[in-house]
Every structure is written in C-alpha cells, then in structure tokens.
Structure 1
C-alpha cells in the first residue's frame, strides 16, 4: 500500500463528550433521560445498520415528552428534530450500570479512534527523503487498522447487553407514548363531533353572540337568562354558524370552556381550536404562530369577556 491508497477516515464526535461521569447521573422521579446516538466507524463510515450508543443523563426540565402529529388515518407521527431520546424508568443501580457500560464503551472507542487517526497522519506526513520511515509508518498504520477493527468489535460485544436492554426500554416507552397520543387524538375528534354547542344573539347596541354548551349550566353572570335555543351543533357547525352571523362581539361561556378543557385532559381550548381551524377561537382571524397570514390579528375576548370578531 502506498500513502496515496490510505482510506478516508469518517469523522465522529467524541463519545465521552456525550456521556457524563457516573457520579453525576442519577434517576429523577424514577426515570433517566436516554439519548440514542449512532456513531459511524472511522473505517467504513455509516454501516447499513450502525450500532447504537445510549448516553444516559439525569432528566432536565426541558426534557419534556415530545409531541405527536397525525396523518389522515389518525396514526401518530412522532415529531423529533433533535435526535432520538426518551425518558425511561430506571433504578439507581440500573442507572449506574448503564452509565458505566456507556463510559467503558466510549473510552475504548475514543482511544482506538484517536490512535487510528494518529497512525494515518504519521503515514501521510513522513517526508519523501526518509526512505525507511515511510514503509515503517505504513506498516504501523496497517497494524493499527487491524487493532481498530478488533477493539471496536470487542467493545461492541461487551456493550451489547446494555444496548439491548436500553433499546427495549425505549421501545416500550415509545409504544406507551404512541398509544397515549392516539387516545388523545380520538378524544379530541369525538368531542369535536358531539352536538353540544349553542349560541344566542343579543342586539342591544352591537350584535353580540353568546356561545355556550347545552349540556352544562351557564357560568357567567352576564349570560342571557333565557338563551335562544338553537339546535345543538358540533364544533364545525358552531364555527360555520358564527361565521355566517358575523357578530361584532363574541362571548364564550366560561363554564363551557372549563368543561371542554377538562374533557380534553390538559389541552387548552385555544390550542384545540387552532389545531382544528388554524385560527383564534375568539376572533376567527388570528393565525397560529407557525402559519403565515395576510390577515392582521384583531383583539379578541377572554372566555367570558367580549371583543372584536371578524369572520372569513
């Protein structure tokens, strides 16, 4: 082999920088935060199925569960832009075992990787006039390359039981999260289809629409004593009716909002309406932050106040 035939080395982030010291990592509320990293081997780069490395750390406030979106069939699509990670149940003893295994694997990989890079650098940088140094450097490179393959294989085999254990724990938690997201999606869809919404119009001064639910008592002192009993409609029907009426002011019954948010289980009415109709429920004109719109936002109401309303 000549120096011109030396293979390209694929770069890789130092694995030890991903894993904190064992003394610094501990479960919080019975869980640890696990990151999934797929480091390439320096020789061969990204393999068909790169072996996974799982740095473990103490959960932090921003390690919140990630969100789901859904396709047209209602299947959850996990939104994750920062790489795969998961909060998994873990005891203190298991946590320490996982971290120590990660540190042992990372130490071995980082050490042999640095040795391989140095051997290649020596083989390429020997001056031409040193006749015997270049062949020696190439032989040392070949020995280091063979040792690299052996050490990487041994480190991978030693780490395999923990890799499998963590991978299984992450898979279980993702399945739970997916099922929870599917249930939440069904719950929101079913609630939107229930014909429970009503409205009444007051013409004293500016036309005002008062929105309530037929299945819960009114909760506002300003609610009409005998609201106009329009036939109950589902949420899309309510939106269409209000859009057709185009009231100047819009008032939502506070009890209706509170009960809806209780049934949505920690999902706000505002975010639910935005998810369905891409607008602010108080004005029908304000787009969500992630969407661009040429319509300027108009001041709206609180759950029991009044404010400007503009239909499409």
Structure 2
C-alpha cells in the first residue's frame, strides 16, 4: 500500500485532505503537523521525512502570515523556501511523487488578464518572495515535482477571510472591504480533490499548474456573495487598498488561468459562488 504524507495537516488544505482521505482507502495516509514534520527546523526535517518513508508527499505546510512575514523574513524563508528544497531533494532521491502548493502572490499584480503558469513572476512582498524561492528550489532539486499555485484559500477549518467576514457581517452595521484587488477564491476542499485527481491519474506530468475556483472578483464582491448567501443585513462599502494600508503590499490583480490543469488532468473547476455555498453550510453563523 502506497503511503501519502501530508504536511501542514492542521491547516485548511491539510484538514480538507483528511476529510477526503476516506474516499481513498487504497492509500495509507500520514497527516503530519509541525511537530511531526518540522518545516521550521531544517536540522531534523529530512530525518523526520525519512522516518515516515512516504511514496507521495503533498506539501501543504507553509508560513502564510503575509503581513507578519515582513518582519519575520528569516522564518518565512526557512519554511517556504529552504524546507521545500529539502523535501524536494528527498523526493528526487527516493523516487517519491511530490505536489507542492504555492501562491498567486508570486506575481506583482500588474497584469490585466488571467495569469498563465508561464507569466513573469515578480513578488511584491516577503511572503511572495519566499514562496517563489521555494518554487525555484523545488524545481531545481526535483524536476519531476508538481507545483500548484492557488489563491485566496478558505475552508470550514481554521481562520480565514470568509469566517472573519461572517463574524463582522453579523456583529456590525457597516463594514468596508477593498474593491481594487482582483482574483478568485479557492475552496480548499476543491483544491484537495484536484490534488487527488492528479495523484490517481494514470500519468504523472510534472510542472507548474494553476488552481482556483472560477470567477473574476474583488474581495468586496466576495463579501457581497457571503452576504447574499447567508442573508446578513450589514451594509458593505467598497474602498481602495490605499484606504486600508497593510504592512505587506498585495498584488492588485492575480487571477489565475486554469486552462492547463483542465487540459492536462481533465479537472473540472467549480464556480466560486457554488463552492462558497458548500462551505457556508458548515459554518453559517446566522
């Protein structure tokens, strides 16, 4: 029986993979949190992975605190870059299949059209820079790896934008949300399914792939969708990013083109609103 190692098991994507794992009993699943696979401790990371001895690695662990990364550059780089290189080298040396998760934040946000896998990368913050460095380290150590870039991830698990907005919509009379950052959200359960479609496909085709739900929206539009589905009465106002400054700059436009993953692996990508409805059924506050 082949063994699948999932890093970052307690994160949103790792948690959704745990739910999905019951549909794949042909695999032995190892869900490793940061104590079992310590992405922030390079001296023991390889030893930990070797002890598990997986056939497949789904690297979902990452440093994702985008604003905090501006002051914790070293830690973000260890987790998002150096640890990825170690895992990728292990996978290469032991003929292990590796899917590594990356982000739309590798782009600078100046595009006016959906970004393909070949689009120029030019991160505008520390988080994006460390994730891009991780991509390069992964591909250098292991050309047979698959990297999936995703964006605006949310799920029923953990803390995320959707849950925060639900709480604010319930508690406040008015909220303001940026309307000049464009992209598409990703329901982690859909991404988990896409990953398993790749794992179980008859052919492994290495490279970078994009995955997010369908739709081209702003964060403001996303909140309006949450409000529409759950029926909140709060007034939602659109504002410019300049009116809501954050330590880390965000890309203004980072919509991902999913043509490649659909064509190569025949993956069906749900519309963002349909996936949002599914997620909200698990955590409606109304």
TM range (shorter): under 0.3
The one of the two structures with greater contact order (alpha-carbon pairs below 8 A, sep at least 6) is 2
Bigger share in strand: 2
Q: TM-score, normalised by structure 2?
A: 0.23
Q: TM-score, normalised by structure 1?
A: 0.21
